[in-house]
A and B are shown apart, each in its own frame.
Chain A
């Protein structure tokens, strides 16, 4: 073999469907795109309105609103509070809405600063509004209206 000579690599198997042997010897494979199943049963417009409600509520109040959708286990309150603790240093300002549609339970958890801004009574009011919507099967609508109610209760961010 001479230095600089191109070595052709022979393929030791048959080319499958969508495969092609390129000039350099590399096998180029085209794979079928399989559509991913939806991760949540929400339409894109519902997701967009939820995102807008979360962002607006957090920007207006200076609190960190977040929404958790998933299983909460046997003791839903303890799970929701441990989720709230996972937020870290900003947990004091955080308001967590944890919803378990499988167990039909929802929890609103406020931190030290956010509980000062949003009373438990206001949280209860938002919970009742969400329950009314969730009973009708409207998860995203209930979350959006609850975020609006909570941000109205908290009021604008204090200016120091």
Chain B
């Protein structure tokens, strides 16, 4: 067994095994979608989700007519919180 073969067996092969295991453990971290953690900045565009109209079904039409939406206060109750 000459020097090159010794290096190949005792250095390169263990290093390759370490590399493969490191890749296997780190892969899910790279691949997953970014996750929110409290305190971090929120740089995303604002989104406003409503229920899927096809899943909700027919709704009775409201009697009220569309008035100037900004001037009328529609809020009657609710709650607030912070974390």
Q: A76-B80, A92-B62, A104-B83 are in contact. Are A59 and B57 (CB under 8 A)?
A: yes
Interface centre among B39, B70, B72, B83, by most A CB within 10 Å?
Answer: B83
In whole Å, how far is A120's beta carbon from the nearest beta carbon of chain B? 5
Q: Which of B49-83 contact A (CB under 8 A)?
A: 49-52, 55-57, 59, 62, 64-66, 69-70, 72-83
Interface string of B29-61 (1 = CB under 8 A from A): 000111111110110111111111001110100
Give chain B's interface secondary structure class. Answer: loop
Q: Which of A81-95 contact B (CB under 8 A)?
A: 81-94
- Would B33 and A108 count as touching, CB distance under 8 A? no
Q: A55-B56, A59-B57 are in contact. Are A108 and B80 (CB under 8 A)?
A: yes
Residues of chain A within 8 A of B57, CB atoms compared: 59
**A154: Cβ under 8 A from any B Cβ:** no
Tell me the nearest residue of chain B to A142, going by C-beta: B83
Contacts from A to B (Cβ < 8 Å): 38-43, 50-51, 54-59, 62, 64-71, 76-77, 80-94, 100-112, 114-115, 118-120, 123-124, 126-128, 130-131, 134-137, 139
Q: How far is the CA of A4 from the CA of B50 in the complex (A)?
A: 57
Contacts from B to A (Cβ < 8 Å): 32-39, 41-42, 44-52, 55-57, 59, 62, 64-66, 69-70, 72-83
Q: How many A-B residue pairs have CB under 8 A?
A: 167
30 A-B pairs within 8 Å (CB atoms) are namely A39-B44, A39-B45, A41-B35, A54-B49, A54-B51, A54-B52, A58-B56, A64-B51, A66-B50, A67-B49, A71-B46, A80-B75, A85-B73, A86-B69, A90-B59, A91-B74, A101-B36, A104-B82, A106-B80, A107-B80, A108-B80, A110-B77, A112-B76, A118-B77, A120-B77, A128-B81, A134-B38, A135-B38, A135-B83, A139-B36
Interface centre among B32, B52, B81, by most A CB within 10 Å?
Answer: B81
